[in-house]
Structure 1
C-alpha cells in the first residue's frame, strides 16, 4: 500500500513528538522497578509530559501537531474540549481549546466517596455538544472510559479521545473504548519513541533491548 501524504505527515509528527519527549526528559526507564500503568499491567517505561511543557518552542510544536491531527482525523465540528480535572493533560487541553477558540470542560475521575460540593462535570455544557476529550496518555483505556460516561450523562457527545502518548501495545484499550464508540488519536506511541531513541542513541543498548522485549510481549516481558 502506497502511503498518502497524510500518512507521511502523521509519521513525521509522531517521531518528532517522540523526539521532543526524549529531549525534554519525559521518558523514564526502570527495568528493576516497573511502573504500574493500568489494571494489573506493568511496564519498564513511563512517560510524563510535564518537562516538555517547560520549553515554549517544543510546547508550541506539540500544539501544532495536535491541531493538525484534529483537522485530519476528527470528523465534523467540535463544540468544546474536555479533560480530567487533574494531571498534565489539563494544560494541553487548555492550550488546544484556546487555539481552537472553544470552551473547556472538566470531568472528575470516579471517586470512592462523593463530595456534594464537587460536580462530576465542571463547566458549561449544552445538550448535544460534540466534545473532544484530551489527556496526557493512554494505556489500557480503563480510566479514559470512566471519564466519557459522566460527560455523556451531562449531555455531551464524546466520540473522540486524543492523547499525547499511547502505549500502543495493550489490547485491552479496544475492549474499553470500542463499546463506547470512542475513536482514539495519539500523537505518538512507544514504537515511535523506540525509533527516535535508536536514531539518536538516546538510551543505552541494554534499555533498548528491554524495550523491544516489552513491546513484543508486554504481558510476559519480565519473564
Structure 2
C-alpha cells in the first residue's frame, strides 16, 4: 500500500524527534545503573525527556509536530481542554494548551491524604461532556493511564485520547490497558525510532546497540538476566 502524506510525515517526524532526544542528551545508555520501571522491568537505557525543554528551538520543533499530530489524528477544534497527568508531562501539557488556547487542568495520581473522590484529584475547571486530551511524557505498558483517566471520566469528561512525547513501543499490554477505557494512544516516537536513528548516525557503539536491541526484543528476558546484583534508577 502506498503511504499517504501523513504516514510519510509521521515517519520523518518520529526520526526527527528521536534525533533530538539523542543529540540533547535525553537518551543515556548506562548498563552499570539500570533504569527501573514501575512494571518491575529494568533496562540499560534511560530517557530523560525533560531535557528537551532546555533547548528552545528543539522544543518548538517538537511542539509543532505534536500539534500537527493532534490536528491530524484527533481533529482541530475537537478538544475542550488539556489534562496534564501529574509528573514529567505537565510542561508539555501546558505548552500544548497554550498553543491551542484551551483550558489546562491537572490530574493527580492519588487524592491528597485524608481526602477522597475525583474532585480532589483534579485541579482546575472541567465540565461534563468536555472532550479532554490527557497528556503525559512517556508511556511504557500503559498500566498507570487508567488512574489518570478515571477521575476525568467520573467528572463526566469524554476522554478518548492520550498524547505522549514518547512510547516504548515494545509492550503489547498497553492495548490491553487502554482499549477497555476507549482510549487511543498518540506518540511522537518510540525506542525503535531512537535505535534506528542511533544506528544510522553511529551515535552508539556496537555493544550498546546490541544491548539495547536485546532489551527491546525481549525486555522480560533481559531483565531476568541483568537485574540481580545491579544498581538501578527509577524511570522518569
Mark yes or no: TM-score above 0.5.
yes
Specify which structure has the bigger relative contact order, considering alpha-carbon pairs within 8 angstroms and separated by 6 or more residues.
Answer: 2
Q: Secondary structure at the match of 2:83?
A: strand
Structure 2 residue runs of 5 or longer lacking an equivalent are 226-236
> 1:51-94 CA distances to partner (integer Å, 9 max, x unpaired)?
11101000000100100000111147100000123x22111110
Query: What's the offset of the Cα at 1:216?
Result: 1.3
Q: Indicate the larger mover: 97-106 or 32-41.
A: 32-41
> 1:132-181 CA distances to partner (integer Å, 9 max, x unpaired)?
11110000111112100011112211100010000000111111111101
> 1:3-22 CA distances to partner (integer Å, 9 max, x unpaired)?
11111000000010011111
2:233 paired residue number: none
The 1:81/1:198 distance shift into structure 2, 3 A limit, reads same
The 1:100/1:152 distance shift into structure 2, 3 A limit, reads same
Equivalents in 1 of 2:104, 2:24: separation in Å? 27
1:7 paired residue number: 7
Matched, 1:136 2:137: yes
Equivalent residues in 2 for 1:67-146, closer than 5 Å: 67-75=67-75, 77-85=78-86, 87-110=87-110, 113-115=113-115, 119-146=120-147
Asked if structure 2 preserves the Cα contact closer than 8 Å seen for 1:38 and 1:140, the reply is no
Query: What's the offset of the Cα at 1:111?
Result: 5.7
1:201 paired residue number: 202
How many residues of Structure 1 are paired with residues of Structure 2 in the alignment?
221
Matched, 1:37 2:29: no
* TM score, norm. by length of structure 2: 0.89
Asked if structure 1 preserves the Cα contact closer than 8 Å seen for 2:112 and 2:120, the reply is no
- Give the ranges of 4+ consecutive aligned residues of structure 1 lying more than 3 Å apart after TM superposition: 111-116
Structure 1 residue runs of 5 or longer lacking an equivalent are none
Q: Secondary structure at the match of 2:71?
A: helix
Asked if structure 1 preserves the Cα contact closer than 8 Å seen for 2:140 and 2:167, the reply is yes
Query: What's the offset of the Cα at 1:45?
Result: 1.9
> 1:81-126 CA distances to partner (integer Å, 9 max, x unpaired)?
00123x221111101001001000110002694447x820010101
Query: What's the offset of the Cα at 1:41?
Result: 2.2
Q: Secondary structure at the match of 2:33?
A: coil
2:151 paired residue number: 150
Equivalents in 1 of 2:128, 2:112: separation in Å? 28
2:192 paired residue number: 191
